[in-house]
Structure formats: C-alpha cells, structure tokens
Amino acid sequence: MNLPFAALLMAVVSCAACGEAPSSGASSMAPSPAGWQCGSTGGGSPKWTLEKEHSDGQAIEVLKQSGAAPYPWCVKPDVKMADGFVEVRFKPLAGREDQAGGVLWRWQNGDNYYVARANALEDNLSLYYTSGGTRHTLQYVAAPVAPNAWHRLRVEFTGPRIAVFLDGKRYIDFSDTHIVGSGGVGVWTKADSVTVFDEFSSPPAPASR
C-alpha cells in the first residue's frame, strides 16, 4: 500500500466532528468510506484535515493534525499486517508541549499498538508500545529532528524485531513481544503537535518460500 494523502483524505473525516471519546479514553469512530479511521488515545480533540502545503516549489496536499489530544492517530485498521514496514514523510510545524510525528503498526484498537515517533522539541527518536491505553517506553535515542523541515520516518518489523529509521539512518534495533500478530498501520502525533504528513506507504513483508 502506497498512498498519497491527497487520495487518502478525500475519504477521511475530520476528527473534530466525530463526537466525544468514550469513557475508555480512546476515540472510536466508524471507518471512512476508504477504510481509514481517526481518533485519539486518552480523549481530547484531535483534528485531521487535508491541507495545501508548499514543498520544493510546488503545492502538495498533506494530512495535517492541528487539534490537541494526548495521542492523536489516523489508521488503516483493515490492513491486518503482522510483518512488513511503515514509512511516512512528516514535517513538525508547531507545538509548545511537543512537535512530534510518528507511525504506528500492529494497531489492535485505540488502546493497543506500537508507535515510533520523532520530536523536534527534544531532538530524539523513541519507540513505545501502548497497552490498555497506557504508553510504555521501550527505547529513547538522540536524533536530529529540525522543526519546519521534512523528515522521513520508517519502521521495519518482523516477529519481535523492530528497526526504526529517521532520514535513512537506523537509530533503533530492538526486540519486543508485547504486541504480536497482525494489526493496522497509520500515523500518530502527541499533545499540541501541529504536524503534516505525506507519502505514506506500508507494504507487507514478502512471503517466505
């Protein structure tokens, strides 16, 4: 699957109009016609919209998160991928608490998934798993994340092995078994981050022979 967000967001609803989050702390909306779903772990008011962004002298359509919520996410829950990779281009624009861009995989629901994120306020890259709505840190590493600049974040996952890359360099190589089996993939931000995303792709791993 390789989707420009121009096509993706024609069918994705703005989370600002999706209603209140349930008491479990994870927003739950019916999937859009294209099969995408958006919300936030921990409630709040996420807002995902399709916007015009000028990049390399041309206007492109990007996915923008400009709301405020603990952990906003937008996922393709019907992918059901166990092994493969997820990659996106992102640009952190603003945020006093955080300026984060991330990807998630093996998404079971809004309370259970893996996420890797880069933060321009902290110049670091981190790997987490979220279980029961609580985020758990697996690894932090220092990494240059310039604000108002495009970066490429990629995670490769096969069985327990997880490798996280930022701008083509591998920073994290980790093994973890907290979330096994298949799940959805998507993008993620944190707190008051205003972040735009483009060039999302996530093919499954090739079948072994």
Report if residue 29 sits inside a domain. Answer: yes
**Greater confidence, 73 or 207?**
73
User: What are 133-145's pLDDT values in tens digits?
Assistant: 999 999 999 999 9
Q: Which helix (H) or strand (E) holds 59?
A: strand 58-65
User: What are 9-63's pLDDT values in tens digits?
Assistant: 433 333 333 333 332 333 333 333 356 788 999 999 999 888 888 777 788 888 8
User: In angstroms, what CA-CA distances link 58 with 50, 53, 61, 200?
Assistant: 16, 8, 10, 19
User: What are 151-178's pLDDT values in tens digits?
Assistant: 999 999 999 999 999 999 999 999 999 9
Report if residue 148 sits inside a domain. Answer: yes
Instruction: Report the number of distinct structural domains present in the chain.
Output: 1
Q: Residue 25: give the domain boundaries.
A: 2-201
Distance (Å, rounded) from C-alpha 145 to C-alpha 95? 14
Residue 6 pLDDT class (50, 70, 90 cuts): very low
Of the candidates 201, 203, 198, the residue with the CA atom closest to the CA atom of residue 9 = 198
User: In angstroms, what CA-CA distances link 75 with 109, 172, 193?
Assistant: 10, 23, 18
Report if residue 207 sits inside a domain. Answer: no
* 94-100 mean pLDDT: 96
Tokens of 119: 């933060």
Is 80 exceeded by the pLDDT of residue 83?
Answer: yes
3-state secondary structure of 201: strand
- Mean residue pLDDT across the chain: 84
Phi then psi dihedrals of residue 15, to 5 deg:
-65, -15
Whether 53 and 196 have beta carbons less than 8 Å apart is answered as yes
* 93-108 mean pLDDT: 96
Cβ-in-10-Å burial (0-12, 13-18, 19+) of 174 comes to middle
Distance (Å, rounded) from C-alpha 186 to C-alpha 73? 7
Report if residue 206 sits inside a domain. Answer: no
CATH code where residue 143 lies: 2.60.120.560
**Greater confidence, 63 or 77?**
63
Of the candidates 133, 78, 70, the residue with the CA atom closest to the CA atom of residue 102 = 70
Report if residue 208 sits inside a domain. Answer: no
Q: Give exposure, 91-115, as e/b (b: 16+ Cβ within 10 Å).
A: bbbebeebbbbbbbbbbebbbbbbb
Report if residue 168 sits inside a domain. Answer: yes
Report if residue 209 sits inside a domain. Answer: no
Whether 73 and 95 have beta carbons less than 8 Å apart is answered as no
* 113-132 mean pLDDT: 97
Report if residue 32 sits inside a domain. Answer: yes
* Positions of E strands within 95-150: 100-109, 112-119, 124-131, 134-142
User: What are 179-192's pLDDT values in tens digits?
Assistant: 999 999 999 999 99
